Amino acid sequence: MFGGVASLNLDSKGRLAIPARHRDVLGTHCANRLVITAEPSGCLLVYPEPDWLPVRDQLNRLSGAQMPIRRFIVGHAEEIEPDSAGRILIPPRLRQLAGLDKEVALVGMGNKFELWDEARWAAQVQAVMDISPDDLAKQMQDIVL
Protein backbone atom coordinates (compact mmCIF):
# COMPACT_ATOMS: atom_id res chain seq x y z
CA MET A 1 0.00 0.00 0.00
CA PHE A 2 2.71 2.54 0.95
CA GLY A 3 5.96 2.83 -0.96
CA GLY A 4 8.69 5.27 -1.80
CA VAL A 5 10.95 7.51 0.22
CA ALA A 6 10.08 11.12 1.00
CA SER A 7 12.74 13.48 2.34
CA LEU A 8 10.91 15.83 4.68
CA ASN A 9 11.54 18.37 7.43
CA LEU A 10 10.14 18.46 10.92
CA ASP A 11 8.92 21.92 11.86
CA SER A 12 10.00 23.67 15.07
CA LYS A 13 7.18 21.96 17.01
CA GLY A 14 8.16 18.47 15.81
CA ARG A 15 5.37 18.17 13.25
CA LEU A 16 5.74 16.28 10.00
CA ALA A 17 3.61 16.89 6.90
CA ILE A 18 2.36 13.60 5.50
CA PRO A 19 2.95 13.64 1.72
CA ALA A 20 -0.25 14.34 -0.21
CA ARG A 21 -0.02 11.04 -2.11
CA HIS A 22 -0.54 9.16 1.17
CA ARG A 23 -3.22 11.35 2.76
CA ASP A 24 -6.18 10.04 0.77
CA VAL A 25 -5.20 6.42 1.37
CA LEU A 26 -4.83 7.04 5.10
CA GLY A 27 -8.17 8.82 5.23
CA THR A 28 -9.93 5.94 3.50
CA HIS A 29 -8.04 3.06 5.12
CA CYS A 30 -7.96 4.17 8.74
CA ALA A 31 -9.88 7.45 9.05
CA ASN A 32 -6.47 9.07 9.69
CA ARG A 33 -6.01 7.12 12.93
CA LEU A 34 -2.31 6.31 13.21
CA VAL A 35 -0.05 4.69 15.77
CA ILE A 36 3.59 5.66 16.08
CA THR A 37 6.14 3.67 18.03
CA ALA A 38 9.85 3.05 18.40
CA GLU A 39 11.72 0.32 16.55
CA PRO A 40 14.95 -1.15 17.97
CA SER A 41 17.01 -0.40 14.85
CA GLY A 42 16.72 3.34 15.52
CA CYS A 43 13.73 4.46 13.51
CA LEU A 44 10.07 5.03 14.29
CA LEU A 45 7.22 2.98 12.87
CA VAL A 46 4.02 4.70 11.77
CA TYR A 47 1.08 2.33 11.31
CA PRO A 48 -2.48 2.92 10.21
CA GLU A 49 -4.40 1.81 13.30
CA PRO A 50 -6.03 -1.25 11.65
CA ASP A 51 -2.58 -2.55 10.67
CA TRP A 52 -1.12 -1.85 14.10
CA LEU A 53 -3.72 -3.81 16.07
CA PRO A 54 -2.65 -7.33 14.95
CA VAL A 55 1.01 -6.39 15.49
CA ARG A 56 0.19 -5.13 18.98
CA ASP A 57 -1.76 -8.30 19.74
CA GLN A 58 1.14 -10.46 18.57
CA LEU A 59 3.62 -8.46 20.65
CA ASN A 60 1.36 -8.70 23.69
CA ARG A 61 1.70 -12.48 23.58
CA LEU A 62 5.47 -12.23 24.12
CA SER A 63 6.81 -13.14 27.54
CA GLY A 64 9.97 -14.29 29.27
CA ALA A 65 13.15 -13.36 27.40
CA GLN A 66 11.10 -11.53 24.74
CA MET A 67 9.46 -9.19 27.25
CA PRO A 68 12.00 -6.35 26.69
CA ILE A 69 11.00 -6.18 22.99
CA ARG A 70 7.32 -6.08 23.97
CA ARG A 71 7.97 -3.29 26.48
CA PHE A 72 10.03 -1.33 24.00
CA ILE A 73 7.62 -1.41 21.06
CA VAL A 74 4.22 -1.55 22.77
CA GLY A 75 5.33 0.71 25.61
CA HIS A 76 6.33 3.49 23.20
CA ALA A 77 3.21 3.24 21.02
CA GLU A 78 1.09 6.39 20.84
CA GLU A 79 -2.06 7.14 18.88
CA ILE A 80 -1.80 10.20 16.65
CA GLU A 81 -3.99 11.90 14.07
CA PRO A 82 -3.03 14.41 11.40
CA ASP A 83 -4.20 17.98 11.91
CA SER A 84 -6.26 19.82 9.29
CA ALA A 85 -3.05 20.59 7.35
CA GLY A 86 -2.07 16.89 7.17
CA ARG A 87 0.71 17.18 9.76
CA ILE A 88 1.40 14.69 12.54
CA LEU A 89 3.08 15.65 15.78
CA ILE A 90 5.98 13.34 16.55
CA PRO A 91 6.07 13.04 20.35
CA PRO A 92 9.27 14.55 21.82
CA ARG A 93 10.21 11.32 23.59
CA LEU A 94 10.05 9.39 20.31
CA ARG A 95 11.91 12.11 18.39
CA GLN A 96 14.70 11.89 20.93
CA LEU A 97 14.78 8.09 20.89
CA ALA A 98 15.12 8.00 17.08
CA GLY A 99 17.48 10.98 16.93
CA LEU A 100 15.08 13.02 14.79
CA ASP A 101 15.94 16.68 14.59
CA LYS A 102 15.06 18.41 11.33
CA GLU A 103 15.68 16.35 8.18
CA VAL A 104 13.90 13.00 8.08
CA ALA A 105 13.09 10.24 5.62
CA LEU A 106 9.59 8.76 5.53
CA VAL A 107 9.91 5.30 4.00
CA GLY A 108 6.85 3.43 2.75
CA MET A 109 7.05 -0.20 3.83
CA GLY A 110 3.80 -1.66 2.50
CA ASN A 111 1.39 -1.54 5.43
CA LYS A 112 3.37 1.00 7.47
CA PHE A 113 6.02 3.70 7.30
CA GLU A 114 9.46 3.89 8.82
CA LEU A 115 10.58 7.34 9.92
CA TRP A 116 14.35 7.80 9.96
CA ASP A 117 16.77 10.60 10.67
CA GLU A 118 17.95 11.49 7.14
CA ALA A 119 21.63 10.73 7.91
CA ARG A 120 20.76 7.35 9.48
CA TRP A 121 18.62 6.51 6.47
CA ALA A 122 21.49 7.39 4.12
CA ALA A 123 23.74 5.05 6.13
CA GLN A 124 21.15 2.26 5.79
CA VAL A 125 21.04 2.77 2.02
CA GLN A 126 24.83 2.86 1.77
CA ALA A 127 25.13 -0.37 3.78
CA VAL A 128 22.98 -2.14 1.18
CA MET A 129 24.94 -0.59 -1.67
CA ASP A 130 28.16 -1.88 -0.09
CA ILE A 131 27.05 -5.53 -0.12
CA SER A 132 29.11 -7.51 -2.61
CA PRO A 133 27.24 -8.66 -5.72
CA ASP A 134 27.72 -12.33 -4.72
CA ASP A 135 26.37 -11.79 -1.19
CA LEU A 136 23.51 -9.72 -2.54
CA ALA A 137 22.61 -12.48 -5.02
CA LYS A 138 22.54 -15.01 -2.16
CA GLN A 139 20.35 -12.78 -0.02
CA MET A 140 17.94 -12.19 -2.88
CA GLN A 141 17.84 -15.69 -4.35
CA ASP A 142 14.18 -16.26 -3.51
CA ILE A 143 13.03 -12.73 -4.32
CA VAL A 144 11.54 -11.93 -7.71
CA LEU A 145 11.90 -8.29 -8.76
Provide the mean pLDDT of the chain.
Answer: 95
Output the pTM of the full model. 0.92
* pLDDT given for residue 137 in this prediction: 85
Between the alpha carbon of residue 103 and those of residues 9, 17, 49, 66, 83, the distances in Å are 5, 12, 25, 33, 20
Annotate 90-142 with DSSP letters as a single string.
Answer: PPHHHHHHHT-SSEEEEEE-BSSEEEEEHHHHHHHHHHHHTS-HHHHHHHTTT
Q: Which of 20-29, 34-43, 58-67 has the lowest mean pLDDT?
A: 20-29
Identify the band that residue 136 occupies on the pLDDT scale cut at 50, 70 and 90: confident
Looking at the chain, the number of H-run helices and the number of E-run strands are: 6, 8
| pLDDT above 90: percentage of residues in the chain | 87
Task: Assign 49 to helix, strand or coil.
Answer: helix
Give pLDDT tens digits for 82-94. 999 999 999 999 9
* pLDDT given for residue 104 in this prediction: 98
Give pLDDT tens digits for 21-32. 999 999 999 999
Apex 61 CA angle, 77 and 64, nearest 5: 100
Residue 133, pLDDT > 90, answer no
Give pLDDT tens digits for 64-77. 999 999 999 999 99
Pick the CATH number of 3-116 from 1.10.1200.10, 1.10.8.60, 3.40.1550.20, 3.10.20.30: 3.40.1550.20
* pLDDT given for residue 68 in this prediction: 97
